[in-house]
């Protein structure tokens, strides 16, 4: 995820503060699901937006663009003031860079001609690295990259006694859908548990499998089947949405490690799911949050307790 800030004036980013109309924040050129999470600018939204890397752009790229971060967000009656800094360890992006990378950044046809603040569900650093605008050394030294919180990266708990499993942490496997990942992590945290997120790029240089082994005592896993890819049977012309292949692989690995009853697949929209293994638990990621009740019930059956559960808004027991 990253913030895309576009402004009309070539000197808009010369100071360390800028003011937007509220109607231009997290609405235009922002996916509906992302917009719903951030456009109201509540406390949680502000805290998350400040953790995203930020791209500072002038309309039609009349100047070079810069990468940096938002230090503070102040809400006024009809406007929002943000304080920011450029990352001095990252090079400026020459004028025309964003037009070249429109598809990678999910930038609309006329988006660079409109002053607005959009939020994009793309990996800013990964895209710039792939297209040789920055190097790994830039990323390693980057102030902005170091500020990105490692959500779901707790320390492994002490190994439980033989025959028991850790019921304080929960694995989360995900694909490219960052909003679903954030929502799931927020829900797990609201129950008083720690989410252990298996990122596409695992922390501390570990592979996903090594990370699972490091947290070998964790007793439950949630696998997010979100429509990240499109696939077709060879020779046919019908296409179906499916989860990332790493998600399917990690789902199978966790079933083998923890047992089928300790792994639940949460499915968003009409996504292709494995149908050749019996006994897999699938839960629909519905708009009414019934999936939360289903996960609570599954975990309770396996000995999980929830320190915050009595006050949880979905508790009807």
170-204 pLDDT, tens digit per residue, is: 999 998 888 899 999 999 999 999 999 887 555 55
Tell which residue, 170, 186, 190, 196, has the closest CA to residue 303: 170
Q: What pLDDT shows up at residue 234? A: 55
Q: Determine the straight-line distance between the first and last CA of the chain, rounded to whole angstroms.
A: 37
DSSP character string of 12-77: TTSSSEEEEEGGGBSSTTS-HHHHHHHTT--HHHHHHHTTS-EEEEEGGGSS-BEEEEEEEEEE-S
112-148 pLDDT, tens digit per residue, is: 999 999 999 999 999 999 999 999 999 999 999 888 7
Please tell me the distance from the alpha carbon of residue 57 to that of residue 94, in angstroms, as a whole number. Answer: 11
| CATH architecture of the domain covering 169-311 | 3-Layer(aba) Sandwich (3.40)
Sequence ranges of the domains in the chain? 2-147, 169-311
Q: What pLDDT shows up at residue 178? A: 87
CA angle, residues 283, 286, 291, in degrees to nearest 5: 45
Q: Give 230's contacts (C-beta < 8 A, 6+ positions apart).
A: 239, 240, 241, 242
Please tell me the distance from the alpha carbon of residue 256 to that of residue 209, in angstroms, as a whole number. Answer: 12
**Edge-to-edge strand list for the sheet holding 281-284:** 194-198, 169-173, 221-225, 263-267, 281-284
Q: What pLDDT shows up at residue 241? A: 73
Please tell me the distance from the alpha carbon of residue 76 to that of residue 22, in angstroms, as a whole number. Answer: 9
Is the pTM here over 0.75, yes or no? Answer: yes
Residues of the chain with pLDDT under 50: 316-317
């Amino acid at each position: 995820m990253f913030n895309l800030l576009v402004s009309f004036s070539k000197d808009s980013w010369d100071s360390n503060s800028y003011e937007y109309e509220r109607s231009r924040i997290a609405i235009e050129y922002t996916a509906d699901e992302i917009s719903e999470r951030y456009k109201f600018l509540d406390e949680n939204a502000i805290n998350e937006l400040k953790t995203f890397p930020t791209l500072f752009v002038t309309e039609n790229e009349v100047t070079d663009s810069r990468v940096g971060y938002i230090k503070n967000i102040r809400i006024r009656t009809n406007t929002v003031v943000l304080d920011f800094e450029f990352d001095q360890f990252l090079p400026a992006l020459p004028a025309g860079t964003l037009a070249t990378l429109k598809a990678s950044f999910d930038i609309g046809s006329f988006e660079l001609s409109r002053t607005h603040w959009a939020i994009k569900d793309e990996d800013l650093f990964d895209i710039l690295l792939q297209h040789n605008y920055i190097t790994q050394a830039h990323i390693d030294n980057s102030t902005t990259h170091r500020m990105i919180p490692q959500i779901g990266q707790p320390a492994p708990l002490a190994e439980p006694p033989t025959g028991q499993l850790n019921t304080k942490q929960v694995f989360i496997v995900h694909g490219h859908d960052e909003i679903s990942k954030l929502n799931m992590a927020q829900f797990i945290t609201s129950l008083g548990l720690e989410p252990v997120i298996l990122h596409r790029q695992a922390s501390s240089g570990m592979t996903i499998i090594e990370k699972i082994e490091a947290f070998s005592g964790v007793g439950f896993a949630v696998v997010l089947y979100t429509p990240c890819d499109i696939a077709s049977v060879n020779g046919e012309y019908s296409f179906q949405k499916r989860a990332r292949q790493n998600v399917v692989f990690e789902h199978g690995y966790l079933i083998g490690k923890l047992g089928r009853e300790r792994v639940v697949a949460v499915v968003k929209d009409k996504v292709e799911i494995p149908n050749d293994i019996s006994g897999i638990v699938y839960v629909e990621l519905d708009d009414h949050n019934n999936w939360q009740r289903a996960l609570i019930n599954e975990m309770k059956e396996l000995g999980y307790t929830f320190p915050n559960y009595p006050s949880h808004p979905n508790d009807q027991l």
